[in-house]
Structure 1
Amino acid sequence: MHPPIRPQLTWLSRASRLGLHQRNVSNLPLTINQLFSRQKPEAHSNEPVTVHGWIKSVRKQKRFAFAEIRDGTTSKSLQAVLTADSARQLSNGMSVALQGSVVYTPSRPQPMELNVMEVKVLGDCDPETYPIQKQSLSVPYLREQVHLRPRTDSMATILRLRDKVARYFHEFYEGQDFLHVHPPIITGNDCEGGGDVFRALPSSSALPTASSCDSHPQLATQRTEFFGKPSYLTVSSQLHLEALASALSRVYTISPTFRAEASQTNRHLSEFYMLEAEMCFTQDLNSVMDVVEASIKHVLRRLAGPTGMLDELKDLHRSQGDGTSSSLPEETQWWDCIEKPWPRMTYTEAIRTLSTPTSPVQWGEGLSSEQEKELARRAGGPIFITDYPTSLKPFYMRSNPPSDSHGPTVACFDLLVPSVAELVGGSVREERLAELEASMKAHGLPAEELNWYLDLRRYGSVPHGGFGVGFERFVSWISGVDNVRECVAFPRWAGRMAG
């Protein structure tokens, strides 16, 4: 049993001592979040401030008006109290600068309000044509207004959640001596070998002309290929991360990846983000899974903590006024799985668990998403499935010693979570040159296309492993939003690219 991995948050304590979380260190105006986060708010009572934001709603009465102001930095809105005359021009969606004084009202549901002395309209908004009105808006409608969708409560919450999740992952990996790196987006190979890639092609005006090729023969190959060879948008940063890890030991990235899949399910996007990590000097699959489990639990603890977003996420499901399709059933209440160990089961054991006399599951078949969800449901939370058949996995995974009577397996795992199914995939990488070459041949991959990758085994190869976390799927799981298209600001999928 490995000791639990705990992140070292020394930089957080330094930042807190310096007051970087509260102090406005530039000439930027005060945000609403900074107003609500003041340590001793009563000391600032009646202090003049200028608040910038967008009007969420306006209630106009005979003498006074009450405007709900938001700027997106927090889920909270600031209530502004205005005279009826100064509010006459205001409507939903307008951007404003309101000058006045803050009055703290701790005994009321609204802990503070702004008594407005001066109103400046920064950007008008025609209430007759504004697409994001206060009434309920359907998911399909909001997908048509994807450029304005971040103004809804639900999407703003998701975007703040993405920010928090990324920050907390960075905390963990910095504390474990991983370096945050930036691998290329354009590559010359398909890492997964599945063929679902986007070709990277320039416009015709960017290609060399025939006359320039006559003058410079070396440009001839660029007449059809900008880089002189076929190039693609990356489907995974893994191979390049392995190259970086072979010099830096521990690396990770959070970067976009692209899959030209025609799938129309709620779990797939054509452009999505992956957190991918590679670590050297380990040949133990359990060690790689330990890092995955510890990093995700760190993020969950932080989200459930005093500076997290647990209440905001629960509010997301209490009020569905802007049409977001989401649910938070008991099985997705992730805060219950933080302190208990996550079980680990081999693929062969999973097949036995799923098989019934009337519905047998054959060894060597891939698990369907419904089968993966069933395994997570039975586990009562996240579960690792390990040691899949060699035929189901890519070429770079290390072969296990012969032990399973059904057939050869590789040292790999998938982390399955309720409602989402596969969240993380990882493995021990094949560090032996001869075995890697044999695996590439078995998968039909020409060695010359990945000769640089083979060099990593020729020169100072070490045992190593890594994994990838689907960022949108992670957000879907912890938010309870059941479609990854609502877990990213500008979703792209087959046949669809709005905004």
Structure 2
Amino acid sequence: LSDKDYPIQKKNTSFEFLRTQAHLRPRTNTFSAVFRVRSLLSYAIHRFFQEKDFVYVHTPIITGSDAEGAGEMFNVTTIDPNKAPLKDDKTVDYSQDFFGKNTHLTVSGQLEGETYALALRNIYTFGPTFRSENSNTVKHAAEFWMIEPEMSFADLSDCLDIAEEMIKYCISYILEKAPEEIEFFDKFIAPGLKEKLNTTLEKPFARITYTDAIKELEKNNDNFEYKVSWGADIQTEHERYISEKIFGRPTFITNYPAEIKAFYMKQNDDGKTVAASDLVVPGIGELIGGSQREDDYTKLKTKMDSLNMNPEEYWWYMDLRKYGSVPHSGFGIGFERFMMYVTGMLNIRDVIPFPRTPKNCEF
């Protein structure tokens, strides 16, 4: 009703301020372009997998298992914290909760996705996931969307091939269907964006083993905040150095030490590494995480026992190996990080309609 009170005036308004006006920011040129591209990119992902006869599976939002094993989960409960039933050891008795057990919002649909891949061969999920990690970075959010394909009769190499093909298919689709938006981003948000996207299409993604990547990084250890050595996890600064300085394009890092990867990943013959891979890209770092899944019942059980995982929570997952498994692989790609790469936007909060981050759930 009042023009002078309208929060978004005709002046340069910071993205940080516009995050406080998430209900109005779609009216700006930048964010209307962002969310048009978000719609098109979502469609491109579905179109890619549908053309390849992948079955779209809806995995549950509420789950009782932790696919990542990191424990950074949002609990789902109807128990009143002021009247919580307690067990003899004074911990909460979740057997009296709504689901009769401790449940939480999903961190990944992978485990459930595997059940359908072993029946239907190739499937994919595309839905919201949640992490309660208290990270205030430009590429982390508490609620985000993930695409997670799972493929039977596929090894790690097959997994990398389909991931690269998907990335290139979607970028090509956006360049075709959203030329004005990409032109806008290239001019006002990320100069050189079109060149970066075209280079992504033209050149094959680089591939390097974790061991060789560490050797390259160690040559520049003096320039890193976090020093690298074999067995250590690779940080964002290392991921960007590999993709920006060493190769200058998206790069798959493969065969990580087993100790720093999830329990379900296929053990390699060397006994030290697993058939896992991360795709790291310029400007962001990790975009995709994937692996061949361990299909050997005995090896998987031994790994879970070594991590003191509760077998009762994963009985159904073990059944997949007990009752006829095949070699299978899959990966997960954070949709918002993909959006950042395609649009050149620098903060994950600016490619989600209503971002959920620590201390931020206003809308």
Same fold (TM over 0.5): yes
Q: Is 2:67–2:110's contact at 8 Å kept on the other side of the alignment?
A: yes
Count of aligned positions: 350
Q: Summarize the Cα distance change of 1:266–1:358 in structure 2 as closer, same or farther, 3 Å threshold.
A: closer
For 1:332 and 1:392, the matched residues in 2 are separated by: 35
Task: Tell me which residue corresponds to 1:373.
Answer: 240
The list of structure 1 runs, each at least 4 consecutive aligned residues, that deviate by more than 6 angstroms after superposition, is none
Task: Tell me which residue corresponds to 1:301.
Answer: 172
For 1:140 and 1:313, the matched residues in 2 are separated by: 22
Measure how far apart 1:313 and its partner are: 2.0
For 1:270 and 1:166, the matched residues in 2 are separated by: 20
Query: Which residue type is aligned with residue 486 of structure 1?
Result: D
Measure how far apart 1:140 and its partner are: 2.2
Q: Which of the pair has more CA radius of gyration? A: 1
In the TM superposition, 1:180-259 aligns within 5 A as: 180-202=56-78, 204=80, 224-259=96-131
Measure how far apart 1:353 and its partner are: 1.1
Task: Tell me which residue corresponds to 1:475.
Answer: 339
Q: Is 1:146–1:498's contact at 8 Å kept on the other side of the alignment?
A: no
Question: Any gaps of 5 or more consecutive residues in structure 1?
Answer: 1-124, 210-220, 320-325
Query: Do residues 143 (structure 1) and 26 (structure 2) align?
Result: no
For 2:43 and 2:181, the matched residues in 1 are separated by: 17
For 1:315 and 1:442, the matched residues in 2 are separated by: 52
Query: Do residues 382 (structure 1) and 250 (structure 2) align?
Result: yes
Query: Do residues 450 (structure 1) and 320 (structure 2) align?
Result: no
Measure how far apart 1:446 and its partner are: 1.4
Q: Is 2:150–2:331's contact at 8 Å kept on the other side of the alignment?
A: yes
Q: Tell me the SS of whatever aligns to 1:493.
A: coil
Q: Is 1:332–1:480's contact at 8 Å kept on the other side of the alignment?
A: no
Task: Tell me which residue corresponds to 1:440.
Answer: 304
* Larger RCO (CA under 8 A, 6+ residues apart): 2
Query: Which residue type is aligned with residue 270 of structure 1?
Result: A
For 2:172 and 2:19, the matched residues in 1 are separated by: 32
Query: Do residues 269 (structure 1) and 141 (structure 2) align?
Result: yes
Task: Tell me which residue corresponds to 1:318.
Answer: 187
In the TM superposition, 1:88-99 aligns within 5 A as: none
Measure how far apart 1:358 and its partner are: 6.0
Q: CA RMSD in A?
A: 2.1
Q: Summarize the Cα distance change of 1:427–1:358 in structure 2 as closer, same or farther, 3 Å threshold.
A: closer
In the TM superposition, 1:153-192 aligns within 5 A as: 153-192=29-68
Measure how far apart 1:457 and its partner are: 0.7
Compute the TM-score of the two structures, normalised by the length of structure 2: 0.91
Query: Which residue type is aligned with residue 167 of structure 2?
Result: I
Compute the TM-score of the two structures, normalised by the length of structure 1: 0.67
For 2:190 and 2:126, the matched residues in 1 are separated by: 27
Q: Which has the higher helix share?
A: 2
Task: Tell me which residue corresponds to 2:276.
Answer: 412
**Aligned-residue identity in percent:** 41
Q: Is 1:384–1:415's contact at 8 Å kept on the other side of the alignment?
A: yes
Q: Tell me the SS of whatever aligns to 2:202.
A: coil
Q: Summarize the Cα distance change of 1:332–1:146 in structure 2 as closer, same or farther, 3 Å threshold.
A: farther
For 1:498 and 1:327, the matched residues in 2 are separated by: 29
Task: Tell me which residue corresponds to 1:346.
Answer: 209
Q: Is 2:95–2:101's contact at 8 Å kept on the other side of the alignment?
A: no
For 1:332 and 1:370, the matched residues in 2 are separated by: 23
Question: Any gaps of 5 or more consecutive residues in structure 2?
Answer: 86-92
Task: Tell me which residue corresponds to 1:362.
Answer: 229
